[in-house]
Amino acid sequence: MRPHCLRTAHSRELDGYDDAVGRYEGSVGEEPESPSGISRRKVLTTGAAAAIVGAGVGAAGVALLGSPSRGPNLWTRPNQSGAQPVGGLHLQFGKDASTGVVVSWHTTDAVRNPRVMVGTPTSGFGRVVQAETRTYRDAKSKTEVRVNHARLGNLAPDTVYIYAAVHDGTNPELGTVRTAPSGRNPFRFTSFGDQSTPTLDQLKKTSYRSDNLGSPASGDTTTAIERLGPLFNLVNGDLCYANLAHDRIRSWSDWFDNNTRSARYRPWMPAAGNHENELGNGPVGYAAYQTYFALPDSGSDTELRGLWYSFTAGSVRVISLSNDDVCFQDAGNFYVHGYSGGAQKRWLETELADARADSRVDWVVVCMHQTAISTADRTNGADLGIRQEWLPLFDRYQVDLVVCGHEHHYERSHPVRGAQDTETKTPIPVETRADVIDTSKGTVHLVIGGGGTSNPTNTMFFPEPKCRVLTSVGQLDPAIGHKAPFYVVEDAPWSAFRDRQNPYGFVAFDVDPGSPGGNTSMKATHYAVNGPYAAISVVEEFTLTRPRRG
């Protein structure tokens, strides 16, 4: 389905750019694109190189490799030829995190023969997988970014692989990755949002300043994630704030440069936030995000690829959503409310029903950006669109946990189910116990937006729990450059914990599969990030539990 309701509500600095492209030289979706999924739009096309899709370790790789008995592959010493280096090396899981991983890196120059060599620590590099290249041209700078994605399939569960990413004319960059366990086994994952970059950017007069809402904490968070060593990290949107930046390309580059020291060892699985919406870059503004990441295929229209997806790790099904589709707030470069025409919601309901019908899945975790709950004043607040569109589905299918951002602090809700008959559809808490929480009774929402920005909101909580719910928007307000928001303030009986002390942090989740016939649990630890060298401290701990399904 083509996006609808694509309205540029008002002029911005980039108004008039309509030539952004998101050109795909290949496809790295989990499944071949169905004929009906090919858009008529010219801005996003699928090229002939799509035949490479799924090459994985199949015939193409074998042909390149020759016999594995020849030992580790050798690459030529190409750095003297001056090709751009492997930039921003990072990973994504496939739909089944126990068998599929995508290795990605980018350049702005065209490169030849992008490929990944992969093996195990004991066997050495034994396979070569060709990468497909996706590109987009940033409408602001006219710079073309080329992202190489090598899809590694048929991997063994719970196994550590080593890999090297390279293209002709440069040196290989090395990484490792552990695949997810299959079935009910313990593992750890982490989550935070709203990170930005710790680097300086725009030259202003004679000095540099942050061009994209960054702070030194943006670097500390990454170091701290590595200290915890999760299987994967969920990034709850607003990655690098490129849509605020003078130099979007540098903002993305800096973000990946900061995070490759973690994201090349464990997938950082993102959700798209309002600051991934870039005027002129693709029909809904996410061409950069969609090009940098090769995320599991959801069967969506090509133009909307990667904006919502799911993957399974052990007994956990993670669902990533794109909330600009349903939020009323106008907080991107341009207003895209309703852009999927209901396609995302239809997919979500099918996905949730499938998860709950799958006896291998105990936990349903939703990762998204904008929030249904917030007790901060004078900032974004909660959005009624999420409460109207998503929360009834979360109730119906017993979503256990929602991680989000948008607000630059940490707070937690009690488990909620159903809504009061009010204009804000206030979520109803079903219990208030703080140490052990049965998520089969209600969904726990966590705002984890202290990833590192220069404007944290942990000092902006209402004294008593209240929530500003954004219920609608009006016309463009020139003073703020967005559609005027209308808020209704409600009491927040669902509010369970608010971290007033710490501007930065993340949450680690330790999944314990439990025993047959018993409960499974997920211990959550909210860590404050206190400084460099991965200085962290525990702020609160609680345990989610639910009956195990198999």
Contact residues for Fe ion, defined by CB under 5 A: 238, 273-274, 406
Q: Is 386 helix (H, G, I), strand (E, B) or coil?
A: helix
Residue, CB closest to Fe ion: 406
Cα→Cα distances 186→94, 191, 313, 366, 399, Å: 19, 17, 10, 19, 20
Name the minimum Å distance from CB 43 to Fe ion.
25
* Nearest CB to Fe ion, comparing residues 99 and 197: 197
77 vs 378 by CB, closer to Fe ion: 378
CB atoms near residue 474 (< 10 Å): 10
Q: Which is nearer to Fe ion, 370 or 439 (CB)?
A: 370
Distance of closest approach, residue 63 Cβ to Fe ion, in angstroms = 46
Q: How far is the CB of 342 from Fe ion (least distance, A)?
A: 23
DSSP string, 238-277: --S-GGG-S-HHHHHHHHHHHHHHHHTTS-EEE---GGG-
Taking the complex as a whole, the smallest distance from the CB of residue 275 to Fe ion amounts, in Å, to 6
> Can you spell out the DSSP letters for 153-204?
-SPPTT-EEEEEEE-TTS--EEEEEEPPPSSS--EEEEEE-----SS---EE
Neighbouring C-beta atoms of residue 156, cutoff 10 Å: 12
Cβ proximity to Fe ion, 12 vs 549, nearer residue:
12
DSSP category for residue 490: E
DSSP 312-358: EETTEEEEE--GGGT-----SSS--TTTTTTHHHHHHHHHHHHHHH-
Q: Are strands 101-107 and 87-93 parallel, antiparallel or unpaired?
A: antiparallel
Per-residue three-class SS string for 276-298: HCCCCCCCCCCHHHHHHCCCCCC
- Residue 405: CB minimum distance to Fe ion, A: 6
3-class secondary structure, 394: helix
Q: Give the count of beta carbons closer than 10 Å to the beta carbon of residue 165.
A: 25
User: Shortest gap between Cβ of 56 and Fe ion (angstroms)?
Assistant: 36
Cα–Cα dist 192/221, whole Å: 9
Task: Specify the residue, 338 or 451, whose C-beta has the smaller distance to Fe ion.
Answer: 451
Residue 148 vs 212, nearer CB to Fe ion: 212
Quote the least distance from Cβ 380 to Fe ion, whole Å: 7
Nearer to Fe ion, 374 or 521 (CB): 374
Q: Which helix (H) or strand (E) holds 93?
A: strand 87-93
Q: Which is nearer to Fe ion, 75 or 487 (CB)?
A: 487
For the bound state, the minimum distance from the C-beta of residue 376 to Fe ion, rounded and expressed in Å, comes to: 13
